[in-house]
Amino acid sequence: MKILVPIDFSDRSKKALEVAEKFAPIVGGKVTPFYSHLPISELDEPYALGMSSAMYQNFDELEDTLKKKVSDLSEEVVDKKYLNEPIIMMGNAAQSIIDISDDFDYIIMSSHGRTGFSRFLLGSVSEKVLRLSKIPVMIVENESDVGEFKNILVTTDFSDNASEAFPYAVKLAQKTGGTIDLLHVLSFDQFDDDEKDLSLRKIREDRLKILVKEHFQPISDRVNSKVIITQGSPHEAIFEHVNENNYNLVVMATVGRTGINYLMMGSTTANVVRHVKSAVLSVNPALDK
């Protein structure tokens, strides 16, 4: 397994490296640190101070310097036996990550770094990667306690898309001996008043039990299913549940049964990532074809 870890030298990106080191031996993988540099931007100190941009004209020199800096940082955090050579690219960070991710199995990254975007906005780089990546993306916060990835939450809306995320959770639980809580949110906000029948809860609970038999059979004795009823939105119920429990990881599909355009629907996954402290592994079945 090849794990791509984009960094920007911030404390948050160091956290991503720490999580990747814990994740690598579980999935039998190695970590490849990645840094993308914009040659000229308002964030570059020499340019902002009116200094010559000649230093950017020799990419080979700059690449060597950045590669050493990335290597030094990575080796401070990750055991060398789990490290591959870093990759340095020039260009827009989000697009560079998407372009190179085809050669990898997972991306682990922080929600935002030195750019200073607010947590609520998630950060432009993470937002785009979460939306467009064809491979699973794990978003971590400084507060994320992944432990040994033994306490896992998986969400479902009973769609085929949601089930695409199940194998990733099963594999982790098999490797770590961990447990899975399979969660469905019954939001009465989606129904008319005359449809708000609590018998729906029993129907959904029975459907969850069927999912456990169909998709979680190898570890079914370590899977607990739960239906939450809420008058609000599903993502609000999910992050309230996550914040009340000590999950090491939340596993979600980025597209559910609605099929509505990501930006229009506001993405339950992206909304959960914005609010929870737990690490979130998102799987985008719409692009994983």
Q: Could you tell me the CATH number of the domain that includes residue 89?
A: 3.40.50.620
Q: What is the dihedral of CA 51, 57, 58, 62, to 10 degrees?
A: 50
122 inside domain: yes
**Both 163 and 266 in a single domain?**
yes
**Both 120 and 155 in a single domain?**
no
Residues facing 32 on adjacent strands: 4
**Both 166 and 101 in a single domain?**
no
pTM comes to: 0.85
Of 107, 140, 173, the residue that ends a domain is 140
pLDDT, tens digit, 9 for 90 and up, residues 208-242: 999 999 999 999 999 999 999 988 888 889 989 99
10 inside domain: yes
Of 140, 174, 193, the residue that ends a domain is 140
145 inside domain: no
Size of the chain in residues: 289
97 inside domain: yes
**Both 210 and 279 in a single domain?**
yes
pLDDT, tens digit, 9 for 90 and up, residues 70-95: 999 999 999 999 999 999 998 888 89
**Both 14 and 135 in a single domain?**
yes
- Contact criterion met (CB below 8 Å) for 89 and 36: yes
Token couple for 266: 């506001």
**Both 170 and 113 in a single domain?**
no
H helix intervals, 49-100? 59-77, 93-100
**Both 55 and 110 in a single domain?**
yes
263 inside domain: yes
**Both 109 and 217 in a single domain?**
no
CA 26, chain centre distance (Å): 17
pLDDT, tens digit, 9 for 90 and up, residues 141-171: 888 999 999 999 999 999 888 999 999 999 9
196 inside domain: yes
Report the pLDDT value the prediction gives residue 259, as an integer from 0 to 100: 43
Full domain range(s) for residue 260: 151-283
Using pLDDT thresholds of 50, 70 and 90, give the confidence band for residue 101. Answer: very high
**Both 75 and 108 in a single domain?**
yes
288 inside domain: no
**Both 71 and 174 in a single domain?**
no
User: What does the alpha-carbon distance between residue 141 and residue 124 come to, in Å, rounded to a whole number?
Assistant: 15
Residues facing 180 on adjacent strands: 152, 223
- Total structural domains in the chain? 2
289 inside domain: no
**Both 91 and 203 in a single domain?**
no
81 or 257: which leads in pLDDT: 81
**Lowest mean per-residue pLDDT among 8-12, 115-119, 218-222:** 115-119
Of 140, 168, 185, the residue that ends a domain is 140
**Both 106 and 230 in a single domain?**
no
- Contact criterion met (CB below 8 Å) for 240 and 191: no
